[in-house]
Amino acid sequence: MKFSLEWLKHFLDTDASVAEIAAALNRIGHEVEGIEDPADKLAGFRVAKVLTAEKHPDADKLQVLSVDTGDGQPLQVVCGAPNARSGMKGVLGLPGAVVPANGMELRKSAIRGVESNGMMCSVRELELGDEHDGIIELPEDAPVGTSFADYSDASPVFDVAITPNRPDCMGVMGIARDLAAAGLGTFKPIEVPSIDGEGECPVEIRTDDPEGCPAFYGRVIRGVDNTRPSPGWMQRRLKAAGQRPISALVDCTNYLMLACGRPAHVYDVARLSGPVVARRAQDGETIEALNEKTYTLDDTMTVIADDAGVHDIGGIMGGEHSGATEGTTDVLLEIAYFDPERIGVTGRKLGLASDARTRFERGVDPAFLDDGLALLTDLIAQTCGGTPTEATRAGKPPVESMVVPFDPALTSRLGGVDVAEDEQRRILTELDFKVGPDWQVTCPPRRHDIEGPADLVEEVVRIYGLENVASVALPRADGVAQPTASPQQKLERKLRRAAAARGLNEAVTWSFLPTGDAEHFADGAQLWVLDNPISEDMKAMRPSLIPGLLAAAKRNADRGAPGTRLFEIGRRYFRGKDGASDEKPTLGVVLAGEKAPRGWAQGKASQFDAYDAKAEALALLEAVGAPVENLMVMGEAGDQFHPGQSATLRLGPKNALARFGALHPKTLKAFDVEGPVVAVEIFLDAIPAKKGEGTFARPSYTPPALQAITRDFAFLVPADLAAADLVRAVKGADKQAIVSARVFDVFAGQGVPEGKKSVAVETVLQPDEKSFTDEEIKAISDKVVAAAGKQGAELRG
């Protein structure tokens, strides 16, 4: 929210400097996001008088002016404005001044051979408006030589962030009240005029939707002149707030909203037909709003309509059809109270934001309808003339004041600061609370954020000064603190460290995805799709971590990164059978680009493959204590992965701990990523917990007393037999003696029968109490050969 110092002083009698006001605003909870002083931009510009204006000797559209700047020595200036003439007063930019509109620094120069010592400026060049057909013309009494910043009363502008719980400060008057309570001056309450209307309002007003629009007040003003511009002081304040002056009638409604936080609307009576009613919209009704867009409404929305149709999306935006024009002579003023929740729902459904919606959905002052109507009537009458009728009222606003029993000692207990009772009473009174002798505090209806005594403590401490709250350490109990991390948190910490130690870089991606990307990885599961997403491209909750990591890898590649190694620990989201959210803790890994750069030893750069993905999956599972030796490599990882280059790691046929492999070309095409790219997903909720987890007891490790021995076996196996199945069979042949087994050679070709391959397995045999005898080793070897035979393997001669 923006407002000028001049506007603030309309409601606050203060001598405080800009810096002091900014510090006070920050101190009481209204963060100052910026301060802009127009005087800084107007440095070097003066009020000047054109003494003579003669035709340029070398250009038809230029004139050579002699300009008095108040220094006693006229300056020669070349000007192309059609309205430049002898005797007029305007604004001269001297050499060294910077033109606000384009940042150009003025210099003494020759234009078509004639020296020019500055520039006579237009309204647009000084960013005072959009006019640029000629230079600024100042009144005859403008003092020549005066700084234009001083002459124009350029006032510093504050840009303040108002938190959603303080709609009472969405007007300059509310800001002034807070600053006065903080001791920065005296609050000047707005003077509400008494309006003596002539005759009854000729337009019937009613509300047929008391839930959406509890109260609807209005009156007609006859004989207005909307061709007049709004007063200079009003335009100046509106421009400071970032509002472009439109017409006198619209400027009056905008001024009331920004000054008092009270949105209002005017209708051209000539364009209305029958009673004006606040009602529910009908499904399919449409309206062309003032932003020149057409909106389709439904029966949950409150509108203002007449017999001809909808004229206003209640509390959000008026319609183009009944808006005031230059030819408008009779207007109907609308001051209404709309339900904040209904306004919020309607605005989100239509995707329509406005200043009025911002205020109504946060909650305007329900007790300000009569005063707001009187103020708006007076503004329009002074600006546009006209004769007002009597006010007409439909419905009743919710003006019941909340009474909160308050204990001043609560400020010390909750706020941590001792504030004298008299000071607490003063602060609350200055903020417009009524404090009874027994500390029964009556809240103004505009303060929707006050729900109990704790909120009053916040008000007192906020105004008294948060800097006065002493910094006190929290009490700490004696002894060793008990661990608070859950087993799941411990697992994720261990996994995060292990992934980083393996050279992977952690990424944190959005939990939301475009619907198409989410469906690509849904594998038939029911997605969570948001009704009110932050954007249409962030509508579905992710069913996999891979899409977000793919997008991150693509961004890195687009910026020239040769290779990417990313991991993320997060949640996947699904809709459960009963409609509840089902969250799955998961680790995702994406390896893309170059695995190793090109070099003299290996030649061209190497790429990641499915074996790299498998290695990462096994290493990370091992780091968190998963029984990797018992895992089975089974099946394909899903349609998103390349067939034959992907698999799952399972404990039994149904419990999948991870999936890994190269991503399918269609997946890479869908995400606009160049391959090959490999990925891993580890399903953390599927990892079985260790026995005894959560206790300090751990079995001690004693190295074996006897040396292990190795035995190699070469088998002829069917070409389609997975090596992991053969290794699992070998290890299971004698679980006590065989401590490990691994493949160290695979060969197919000359000397190997068609449809077969040779797989060599190294086994490690560990004796226990005594060394193995030859007979025992032979017995173990026979068990290995027999177990392998069940897999279709035969010992190679």
Binding positions are 449, 455, 458-459
Q: Which two tokens stand for residue 58?
A: 């070398």
Give the H or E element holding residue 620. Answer: helix 610-623
CB 514 within 8 A of CB 537: yes
Query: What residues are designated binding site for Mg(2+)?
Result: 449, 455, 458-459
Distances (CA, A) of 338 to 357, 429, 449, 658: 10, 28, 17, 54
Q: Which two tokens stand for residue 407?
A: 């204990």
Q: How far apart are CA 154 and CA 41, in angstroms?
A: 10
Long-range contacts of 481-485 (CB under 8 A, 24+ apart): none
Give the H or E element holding residue 205. Answer: strand 205-207
Sign of the torsion formed by the C-alpha atoms of 162, 167, 168 and 171: positive
Q: How far apart are CA 540 and CA 635, in angstroms?
A: 28
CB 132 within 8 A of CB 125: yes
Residue 109: name the closest of 100, 97, 118 by CA: 118
Burial, 367: exposed, middle or buried (Cβ in 10 Å; 0-12, 13-18, 19+)? middle
Q: Which residue type does 248 have? A: A
Q: Which two tokens stand for residue 723?
A: 């090596």
Q: Which two tokens stand for residue 569?
A: 């620990």
Helix 18-27 vs helix 172-181: angle between axes, to the nearest 10 degrees?
90
Long-range contacts of 285-290 (CB under 8 A, 24+ apart): 285/309, 285/310, 286/310, 287/311, 287/312, 287/313, 287/319, 288/319, 288/320, 288/321, 289/313, 289/317, 289/318, 289/319, 289/320, 289/352, 290/317, 290/318, 290/319, 290/320, 290/323
DSSP string, 11-29: HEE----HHHHHHHHHHTT
Give the H or E element holding residue 730. Answer: helix 723-731
Residue 374: name the closest of 335, 330, 332 by CA: 335
Integer-rounded Cα Rg, in Å, for the chain is: 39
Classified as helix, coil or strand, 163 is coil
DSSP string, 235-265: HHHHHHTTPPP--HHHHHHHHHHHHHS---E
Residue 335: name the closest of 292, 387, 297, 370 by CA: 370
Classified as helix, coil or strand, 274 is coil
CA dihedral (66, 71, 72, 77) in degrees, to 10, reads -10
Q: Which two tokens stand for residue 468?
A: 């006065």
Residue 269: name the closest of 416, 408, 389, 179 by CA: 389
Q: Is the peptide bond before 627 cis (omega within 30 degrees of 0)?
A: no
Q: How far apart are CA 8 and CA 559, in angstroms?
A: 49
Q: How far apart are CA 338 and CA 215, in angstroms?
A: 8
The number of residues making up the chain comes to 797
CA dihedral (140, 143, 147, 148) in degrees, to 10, reads -20
DSSP string, 436-497: -TT-EEEPPTT-TT--SHHHHHHHHHHHH-GGGS---PPP--SSPPPP---HHHHHHHHHHH
Strand partners, 567: 506, 589
